[in-house]
Amino acid sequence: MKDTLHLLQFSDPHLFARRDGLIKGVCSYDSLGRVLALARRRHGECEAVLLTGDLVHDEPGGYADIREQFATLGKPVYCVPGNHDDLPAMHRELSGSPFHIGGHADLKAWRLIFLDSVVPGAAHGTLADTELQRLEALLADAGGRHVLIALHHHPVNLASQWLDQVKLLNDREFFAITDRHPSVRAVCWGHVHQSFDVRRKGVRLLAVPSTCAQFMPNSAQFAIDHSAPGYRRLALNPDGSIETEVVRLEAQARDDSQRRSA
Ligand SMILES: [Fe+2]
């Protein structure tokens, strides 16, 4: 559709200061590189990137590689912090183009709103009163634009007891605001290291796999899922409709083997 806004969402790269650092047996640096290479090949025409938190795994030294790896896309990168990030270090290391941390962006027929849900020292999330007020103000003056909201923590339960303890705890306050604004079309998050796609009161609620290790869906306790790392493609249409899919590294392996056998 003409004037559609094309975005890619990546989440939870969990980079370390050292490039050989592992998350649950997965080298997070190498895995991010492979996911970004797939995205460049499959969706290099995207206009902007969402990066929904846990850029590093408690080691600010990893931000230098975030800068280097995401620069290869050549697109603006809109970031929100996750519970493993260090916000002052993130601002220090990712200041300037192509990175934007928090705030909002008006692109084509859409307003993208980026929220900080991090509670320092905690795994769960909460939106501070100042963030809730900023959300309300940005929705009130969206000027007829459709709205996508991005944050790190999930605002709904996923039928996964351990993960639901570390969700966005003031989800009621969040939805009390979004429910007053029919311009809100989508809420996107990371944190859960798995794909998720449901509708709530007409709003698309979307999670994305991590670019490294995945968590088992619907598991009461922490468990690793061996599905492949990936990202989400979003096509935001000017009429407010959304087309989206999750793309995983397995698709690249399948394409490569098809090319070899052709
Ligand atoms: Fe994470």
pLDDT tens per residue, range 131-153: 999 999 999 999 999 999 999 99
Instruction: Answer whether residue 190 shows pLDDT above 80.
Output: yes
**Cβ atoms of residues 55 and 86 within 8 Å:** no
Q: Which residue has the tokens 């859960």?
A: 192
Measured in Å, residue 191 CA sits from the centre of ligand 1 at 4
Cα–Cα distance, 42 to 44 (Å, whole number): 6
- The predicted structure's pLDDT at residue 259: 53
| Residue 172 in tokens | 């009621």
Task: Give the amino acid at 203.
Answer: V
Query: Cα 163 to the chain's mean position, in Å?
Result: 17
Spatial separation of the C-alpha atoms in residues 106 and 116, rounded to whole Å = 18
Question: 54: CA distance to ligand 1 center in Å?
Answer: 5
Tell me the CA–centroid distance for residue 248 and ligand 1, in Å: 17
**Distance (Å, whole) CA 203 – CA 184:** 7
Query: Using the 8-state DSSP alphabet, how is residue 56 labeled?
Result: B
CA–CA gap between residue 144 and residue 32 (Å, rounded): 36
Q: Which residues contact 250 (CB under 8 A, 6 or more apart)?
A: 227, 228
CA of 106 to the centre of ligand 1 (A): 27
Query: How many helices and strands (H and E) does the chain possess?
Result: 7, 16
- What's the mean per-residue pLDDT of the chain? 94
Predicted local distance difference test score (pLDDT) of residue 34: 97
User: What is the distance between the alpha carbons of residues 39 and 13, in angstroms, rounded to a whole number?
Assistant: 14
Half-sphere exposure of 172 toward its Cβ, with a 13 Å CA cutoff?
0
Confidence of residue 57 (pLDDT cuts 50, 70, 90): very high
Q: Mark out the alpha helices in 44-201 (DSSP H runs).
A: 63-71, 87-93, 129-140, 161-164, 171-178
**Residue 106 φ then ψ, to 5°:** -105, 110
Q: What is the mean pLDDT of residues 239-250?
A: 96
Is the distance from CB of 223 to CB of 188 less than 8 angstroms?
A: no
209 alpha carbon – ligand 1 mean position (Å) = 10
Q: What is the CA radius of gyration of the chain?
A: 17
Expressed in angstroms and rounded, the spacing between residue 205 Cα and the centre of ligand 1 is 18
Q: Identify any residues that bridge with 101 across adjacent strands, giving them in sequence order.
A: 79
Instruction: Give the distance (Å) from ligand 1 centre to CA of residue 192.
Output: 7
Q: How far apart are CA 55 and CA 114, in angstroms?
A: 15
Q: pLDDT-derived band of residue 260, with 50, 70 and 90 as boundaries?
A: low
Taking the C-alpha atoms of residue 133 and residue 115, their distance in angstroms, rounded to an integer, is 11
Measured between its terminal Cα atoms, the distance across the chain in Å is 32
Query: Is residue 253 classed as helix, strand or coil in its secondary structure?
Result: helix
